[in-house]
Structures are given as C-alpha cells and as structure tokens.
Amino acid sequence: MENTKKKKKMSLTTVILLALVLGAVTGALLYSFASGSAGVQKYVVNGVFYVLGQGFIRLMQMLVIPLVFCSLVCGTAQIGGTKSFGRIGGGIIGLYLLTTTLALTLALFFSRLTKPGVGLNLSAIQMSTEKLQTVDRSSIPDTLLNIIPKNVFESMANGDMLPIIVFALIVGVIIGKLGDKVQTVSNFFSQFNDIMMEMTMMVMKVAPIGVFCLIAKTFATVGARAMAPLLKYLLTVLLVLVIQVLVVYMTILWTGARVSPFRFLKKFFPVMLFAFSTDSSNATIPLNIETMEKDIGVSRDVASFTIPLGATINMDGTAIMQGVAVVFISQAYGIPLRPIDYVTVILTAVIASIGTAGIPTVGLVMLTMVLSSVGLPIEGISLIMGVDRIVDMCRTAVNITGDAVCTTVVAKHNGQFDKSIFLSDTRREEPNGSHPDNAETDIVDTMAEEFEETDKKA
C-alpha cells in the first residue's frame, strides 16, 4: 500500500517535470527552425500554446479570490479567538520581513561582487520603453494606504490582494470572537472553502497541458540566444536565488523547526515546479496549502492563514531580482550607488515586495518604485525585460518556498506541526488537521490516478 502511494506521487512530479522539459525542447526547436514561419507563429505559438497556456492560468486565477478570501476567513476564525493568534500572526509577519531583508542584502552583496552591468554595451540590447507606459508608479505612502480597502468588492473585482486580506482577517477575527452566534456564516465560509478546494482538484487535472504550453511559448518566443548579453545578470539572480533556498531557508528550517531541510525540499518540490511553470504565487496558493497540510504536517488552520498572506506580502525571490537589477542598471548606466542608496533600496524593496501581487511580471513593475527611490533611470527596466520571463519563473518558485518555510517554523513553535506526517512517506489523507476515519482523496493522488488510468487505457 505504501509503495503504491509513493509510486502515485512520484508519477505526478514526473508528469509535470516531463511536460516542462518537453515544452522547453519544443519551444527551443520552434524558435530555431520555425521562427520565420508566420503560420507556426500564428496557429501554434500564438494560437494553441497561447490559448491553452493562458486558459490554464485563467482557471487558476478564477479560483484565487474566493479561495483566498474563504481560507483566510476560516483560518483566522479558527485561531483568531485563541491566545496563539497574536503569536502566529506576529511570528509569521516578523519572519516574512526578516527573510525578505536577508534576500535583499544577499542580492546587493553578490551583485557588487559579480558586477553584472559593468562593461555592458547598452546599444547591443534592444531598448523597448513602450511597454513601460502602462506601469503603475505608486509612491510609498500610496502603497501603504492601498492596504485599506475603500470598497472591498472593488478590490475583489480588481484582484487587489492586500485589501482583500485585510478585510478577510477582520471578518475572521470577528467570527472567532462571536463564536456560536454566527455559526451559519462560519459554516458557509467553511463549506464554500471545501467547494473551492474541490474545484482546485478539477483544475489541476489539466496542469501538465498548461505547463507544456506555457513553457513552449516562452522558449519559442524568447529563444536561448536572446539571453546572451544578459547572461551575467541572469546568472547572478539565479545564484542568489539558489543561496536563498539552500542556505537561508534551510538554515531557518533546521534551526527554527528542527526538521530535515532535504526531506522538506523533496516533499515540497512539486509546489516549486508548479510555481515555476505558472509564474504566479497566487495560482500556487491552493497546492501550497494542500501540500503544507498533507505532506509537511502543518495544521490546515495555520496554513490557510499564512500561505495566502505570504503569497501576497512575502516575495523574497522578487526582492532578489530587484536588488540585482538595481546594481545591474546602476552599473550599465554608470551611475554609482552610495552606501545610503543601498539602505534605501532595502527599505523600498521590502515595501515593494509587500505591495507586489503574486501574479506574473508584477515584480518588474514594482521595480520602478525601487529605481526611482535612488534616482536610477526607469528605462533601465527595458534592459532586463527580455529575460524577465525566465527570471520570473525562478523567483516565483523561491517566493512560495519562503512562505512554506516560514509557515513550518511558526507552526512548529505554536504546536501546529505534526512531525509524524513530515516523516511519513505517505500523505495525510484526513482534512482539517483532525483524524477522522473517512480519508479523502487529494489533488496529487487524484491526478496520479487519472494518469495511471490513461496509461492503462493507452
């Protein structure tokens, strides 16, 4: 039985990984041999790949607002009335801020060493400033004020996560406080939450197709050669992202939760892969909560509260990109940064990370805020735009890993972590941290079963 379960889980990871590799190879081949063919570009790259890839992203986006709202209300209502709420809330926000500050410090330190922008021939890179016209250059006070929703329905319609989170937290705390008096409303949110999780399972069944099309389109459009002048920038960002995961997160995990970092990474890898393919922390929320509960052993109540919060305010990968980009642009334009500028970059980028929505490319948009805080030219962003898709995929995987690591530590310190689940090779089957006998199926197993059935039919 155990072996079968393990095999099933392995097959899901393999299928997504396979879709990823096949997508990259297909895209690279199309770029090399068919970039001149208008038909291939129109019907395959911008037709089938675009529609299926974006269709998948839209399906995930469709889930996000109702799911985040309900899961935050339920999570907060469960722990809101308890003494640990302040500890969990304070602990998670403190850890989120700490990891983002560390990420930025590392980014600035390493990019000073590798000097990614020194000697760059600006004229060798195609400048495209048009796309930046649409950039929203929110000031720091406005970013802070926007946390309070003027109209929560407007925020929901616009997908503004921070105000939605604030409102959901308040509703959750009040439900927790009023208890039985508002049982009907509480049941409504909890049952609606179950419906959204079920919907997530259905959407996840098409994940490999979505992943294949998204990656194939990226490689067919950007191609590997376009990245050559920016290789140093790209490698510096990747180096710091890897350090953040392997050194910073693993140290925090080991010292803060006393769990094996390698086991954690092994269990969490499918979530990273998913974030990598979708470019979106928000789209990864359902799978992240599910994995935290069933594979890592964090209680559902804590994960439903900290993961959506982290997907919105904790963006360590994005902060790393912004730190390296600032140094890169300052070197490329020959504008030196003073020590005080580094401090300003850290402060602004931490705020930018809080204000960055967990959807593709927003980190690049928020970079305008960081650049203007130290007087660097905003057009500099056009230098790195060409490779941002690849960087975005990697930083999103780091963004959601940071949320999961901090969540594990906070859960451990508040008695909300079940180590036996973490150590087990099978998934926890029962919902909501309780242990009823009726085991329910989960996203990964359901998908794996589907694939095995398809395999058998084939």
Q: Which residues bind ligand ASP (CB under 6 A)?
A: 279-281, 315, 318, 356, 358-363, 392, 395-396, 399
Can you tell me the distance from the alpha carbon of 15 to that of 23, in angstroms, rounded to the nearest whole number? 12
Quick one: three-class SS letters along the chain? CHHHHHHHHHHHHHHHHHHHHHHHHHHHHHHHHHCCCHHHHHHHHHHHHHHHHHHHHHHHHHHHHHHHHHHHHHHHHHHHCCCHHHHHHHHHHHHHHHHHHHHHHHHHHHHHHHCCCCCCCHHHCCCCCHHHHHCCCCCHHHHHHCCCCCCHHHHHHHCCHHHHHHHHHHHHHHHHHHHHHHHHHHHHHHHHHHHHHHHHHHHHCCHHHHHHHHHHHHHHHHCCHHHHHHHHHHHHHHHHHHHHHHHHHHHHHHHHHCCCHHHHHHHHHHHHHHHHHHCCHHHHHHHHHHHHHHHHCECHHHHHHHHHHHHHHCCHHHHHHHHHHHHHHHHHCCCCCCHHHHHHHHHHHHHHHHHCCCCCCHHHHHHHHHHHHCCCCHHHHHHHHCCHHHHHHHHHHHHHHHHHHHHHHHHHHCCCECHHHHHCCCCCCCHHHCCCCCCCCCHHHHHHHHHHHHHHHC
CB of 456 to ligand ASP, least distance (A): 36
Q: Is the CB of 79 or the CB of 315 nearer to ligand ASP?
A: 315
CB of 316 to ligand ASP, least distance (A): 10
Can you tell me the distance from the alpha carbon of 32 to that of 29, in angstroms, rounded to the nearest whole number? 5
Q: Is the CB of 221 or the CB of 299 nearer to ligand ASP?
A: 221
Q: Is the CB of 218 or the CB of 318 nearer to ligand ASP?
A: 318
CB of 271 to ligand ASP, least distance (A): 13
Q: Is the CB of 290 or the CB of 388 nearer to ligand ASP?
A: 388
CB of 280 to ligand ASP, least distance (A): 4
CB of 369 to ligand ASP, least distance (A): 13
Q: Is the CB of 95 or the CB of 359 nearer to ligand ASP?
A: 359
Q: Is the CB of 292 or the CB of 362 nearer to ligand ASP?
A: 362
**Over the Cα atoms of the chain, what is R_g?**
22
Q: Is the CB of 106 or the CB of 421 nearer to ligand ASP?
A: 106
Q: Which two tokens stand for residue 54?
A: 């974006």
CB of 449 to ligand ASP, least distance (A): 29
Residue nearest to ligand ASP (CB): 363
Q: Is the CB of 30 or the CB of 162 nearer to ligand ASP?
A: 162
Which residues on neighbouring strands pair with residue 417, listed in sequence order?
298
Can you tell me the distance from the alpha carbon of 369 to that of 375, in angstroms, rounded to the nearest whole number? 10
CB of 25 to ligand ASP, least distance (A): 24
CB of 54 to ligand ASP, least distance (A): 15
CB of 311 to ligand ASP, least distance (A): 7
CB of 278 to ligand ASP, least distance (A): 8
Q: Is the CB of 318 or the CB of 368 nearer to ligand ASP?
A: 318
Q: Is the CB of 91 or the CB of 360 nearer to ligand ASP?
A: 360
